[in-house]
Amino acid sequence: MMIARAPIKLDILKLIDRLEIAVQLRESHFREFKSAFEGRPQEKTMRSVKDICVDIAQTLVAFANADGGELLVGVEDDGTVSGLNAFSEEKLAALIAAPRTHVHQDTPLPSHRADTIVFKGKMILYFSIPKGTTFVYLTSDGRCLQRKDLESVPISSESIRFSRTEIVSREYD
The pTM for the full model equals 0.88
pLDDT for position 8 = 43
pLDDT for position 172 = 57
pLDDT for position 55 = 98
Average pLDDT, the chain: 90
Report residues of the chain scoring pLDDT below 70: 1-10, 166-173
Alpha carbon separation from 67 to 52, 121, 132, 161 (Å, rounded): 22, 31, 8, 14
Return the bridge partners of 70, or none.
Answer: 31, 128
pLDDT for position 152 = 95
